Amino acid sequence: MQERRNLPQMEVIQELLLPVTRTTMWMWIGFIVLGTILAAFAFAVAWMFYWGIGVTGLNRPGMWGFMIVDFVFWIGISHAGVMISAILRLTQAEWRRPVTRAAEVMTMFSLMTAMTLPFIHTGRPWRTAYWVFPYDFWRGIFPDVRSALVMDPSAVFTYLTGTILFIYITTVPDIATLRDRSTGWRKGLYRVLALGWQNDERQWMIQAATGFLLAALMLSIFVSVHSIVSWDFSFSLDPVWHTSVWAPYFVIGAVHSGVSAAVTLMVLMRWMFGFDKYIREEHFDAIGRLLVVVATAWVFFFMLDVFFALFNQDPRETAVMKMRFEQWPYTLMLVLIFVFGYFIPVPIWMFRKFRRNIKLMFWTSIMVNIGMWSERYWLVVPGLERKYEWTFDWNFYRPGIVEITIILGTFALVPFLFMCFSKIFPPVSIWEEKEGQNFLQEIKVGKASIPAIVREF
Partner 1 sequence: MALRDVLGLYSDIDSAVAGVDKLAEVGIHREDFEVLSNAPYPEGAFGHDHTTSRLGLWPVVGACCGFAVGLLITGGTQVVYPMVTDGKPLFSIPPMVVIMYEGTMLAAVIFTVLGAIFESRMPRFSREIYDTRITDGYIGVLVHSPEESVNSAAEAMRATGAEDVRMAEARATKASQPARANRKGASA
Partner 2 sequence: MATVTGGHHVPEPSPVTRAWDYTPGQLVRDGLQRLRAKGQWYRISLIILAILTVIGIIALIVQAIASGWGDRENWGYVAVAFGYIMSTVAAAPCVCVAGRLTRAHWRRPIDRISEIWAAAMIVPAILFLLLMWTVPNTHGRPTIWFGWWAAPYLWDAILVLGLAFTGYALLYVSSIPDLAIARAQIEDGSANWLTRKAEGFFGTQSQWRVIERAVAYLGAFYVVMYIGTMTVIAADFIMSLIPGYKSAIFPAYFAISGFGGGVAVVVVTASIMRLWGGAEDYLGREQFFALAKIQLALGLLFAYFIWTDFVIPWYGRMPWEILQIRLLYFDSYLWYFVAAFALCFISPLVLLMWTKLRRGRVGPFIVSSGVLIGLLADRIRLFSSAFSDKDITEDRLHALPPVLHPGVLDWLIVIGAIAACIALVMLAMRLIPVPSIWEMTEGTRLRARRRFHNVEVTIIGKPDY
- Residue numbers at the binding site for partner 1 (CB under 8 A): 8-10, 13, 140-147, 150-151, 154-155, 157-158, 161-162, 165-166, 168-169, 173, 176-177, 180-181, 191, 195-210, 213-214, 217-218, 220-221, 224, 228, 431-432, 434-435, 437-439, 454, 456
349 binds partner 2 (CB under 8 A): no
CB burial of residue 202 (10 Å; 0-12, 13-18, 19+): exposed
- What is the DSSP-derived secondary structure letter of residue 53? G
- Residue 169's nearest CA partner among 202, 200, 204, 201 is 204
Q: How far apart are CA 436 and CA 442, in angstroms?
A: 13
Partner from partner 1, partner 2, none binding residue 353, C-beta < 5-8 Å depending on class: none
Partner from partner 2, partner 1, none binding residue 199, C-beta < 5-8 Å depending on class: partner 1
Partner from partner 1, partner 2, none binding residue 305, C-beta < 5-8 Å depending on class: partner 2
Partner from partner 1, partner 2, none binding residue 313, C-beta < 5-8 Å depending on class: partner 2
C-alpha dihedral (432, 437, 439, 440), degrees to nearest 10 = 140
33 binds partner 2 (CB under 8 A): no
Q: How far is the CB of 436 from partner 2 (least distance, A)?
A: 11
Q: How far apart are CA 1 and CA 7, in angstroms?
A: 17
Q: How far apart are CA 117 and CA 123, in angstroms?
A: 10
Residues of span 260-289 touching partner 2 by CB under 8 A: 282-283, 285-286
The smaller minimum CB distance to partner 2, of residues 6 and 91, is found at 91
Write the single-letter amino acid at 104.
E
445 binds partner 2 (CB under 8 A): yes
Write the single-letter amino acid at 122.
T
The smaller minimum CB distance to partner 2, of residues 147 and 161, is found at 147
Partner from partner 2, partner 1, none binding residue 168, C-beta < 5-8 Å depending on class: partner 1
The smaller minimum CB distance to partner 2, of residues 293 and 401, is found at 293
Contact letters (x/-) for partner 2, 243-262, by CB under 8 A? xxx-xx--------------
312 binds partner 2 (CB under 8 A): yes
Phi, psi of 179 (to 5 degrees): -55, -40
3-class SS of residue 335? helix
293 binds partner 2 (CB under 8 A): yes
Contacts of 81 (CB under 8 A, 6+ apart): 100, 103, 104, 105, 106, 107, 108, 163, 258
The smaller minimum CB distance to partner 1, of residues 17 and 84, is found at 17
304 binds partner 2 (CB under 8 A): yes
Interacting span for partner 2 (CB under 8 A) from 60-68, 137-145, 175-183, 230-238: 230-238
Phi, psi of 445 (to 5 degrees): -125, 105
The smaller minimum CB distance to partner 2, of residues 403 and 433, is found at 433
How many positions of this chain bind partner 2 (CB under 8 A)?
A: 45
| 414 touches 261 (CB < 8 A) | no
Contacts of 373 (CB under 8 A, 6+ apart): 69, 70, 73, 257
The smaller minimum CB distance to partner 1, of residues 126 and 185, is found at 185
Q: How far apart are CA 37 and CA 232, in angstroms?
A: 30
Question: Within 10 Å of residue 305's Cβ, how many Cβ atoms?
Answer: 16
Residues forming the site for partner 2 (CB under 8 A): 90-91, 94-95, 220, 223, 227, 231, 234-235, 237, 242-245, 247-248, 282-283, 285-286, 293, 296, 300-301, 304-305, 307-313, 441, 443, 445, 450-457
